[in-house]
Copies of this chain bind each other. A is one copy, B any other.
């Protein structure tokens, strides 16, 4: 299935700010279908403000009197639950739920249902759902914000359904330093370490090996080695004058 096949249903939302923030969370992840069941205030300035440019989702959001109405056209409903309820439903975490999305064909609509800020979903509402989604939280403070829960769910859906845009950034047009360049750099570094009196001429190997490892780990590019060699030359001028 595709991200646009996912329906986010918010039931009985009290704070219109949460509706706006949920719309924004959905849109950043590529979801689009928001459905509201008996929101206390909607439309509302606070919803629009928090949507912060995702207004299109609010404008297209359906508003319904019952959860059954809101679920029209979907083939599965996942109810979100802050508590781990008695085992009448299969429970998965958001990643596990998103993994189930992957298996469904394009065009099949699946709903994720979020309850009221304080009290969640009623047992009657949960009875409409096929499975539960549970987000693990700190037992000492489990008060996950409604829109944050939508964000986490949408984030996992995107991870499961969309190949991320190339995670590797474009490499700049700089070529890595060649092994010769690295060798000349190390020779130059050793000269400066000796002439500055930092390196004991009788036992130079240990420190040089350490610095070899350090700079090799950094995988310097051609320009960076030039910068370092420029610096070595500059300090060398001063050292020569004191000899």
Asked if A179 is at the interface of the complex by the 8 Å CB criterion, the answer is no
Known contacts A25-B148, A28-B141, A172-B87; A238 and B165 CB within 8 A of each other? no
Give 1 or 0 for each of A112-146: 1 = CB within 8 Å of chain B CB.
00000000000000000000001111110111110
Asked if A1 is at the interface of the complex by the 8 Å CB criterion, the answer is no
Give 1 or 0 for each of A206-242: 1 = CB within 8 Å of chain B CB.
0100110011011111011001101101110111011
> Could you tell me which A residues sit within 8 Å of B by CB distance?
21, 24-25, 27-30, 52-54, 84-89, 91-93, 95, 134-139, 141-145, 147-148, 151-152, 155, 158-159, 162, 164-172, 192-193, 196-198, 207, 210-211, 214-215, 217-221, 223-224, 227-228, 230-231, 233-235, 237-239, 241-242
Copies in the complex: 2
A138, B28: Cβ atoms closer than 8 Å: yes
B196, A238: Cβ atoms closer than 8 Å: yes
Kindly identify which residue among B86, B148, B230, B234 contacts A170, using a CB–CB cutoff of 8 Å: B86
B-chain residues with CB within 8 Å of residue A28 when the two chains form the complex = 137-138, 141-145, 148
A172, B137: Cβ atoms closer than 8 Å: no
B162, A27: Cβ atoms closer than 8 Å: no
B-chain residues with CB within 8 Å of residue A147 when the two chains form the complex = 148
Known contacts A86-B169, A158-B136; A145 and B21 CB within 8 A of each other? yes
Known contacts A155-B152, A220-B214; A93 and B172 CB within 8 A of each other? no
A143, B24: Cβ atoms closer than 8 Å: yes
B-chain residues with CB within 8 Å of residue A93 when the two chains form the complex = 159, 164, 167
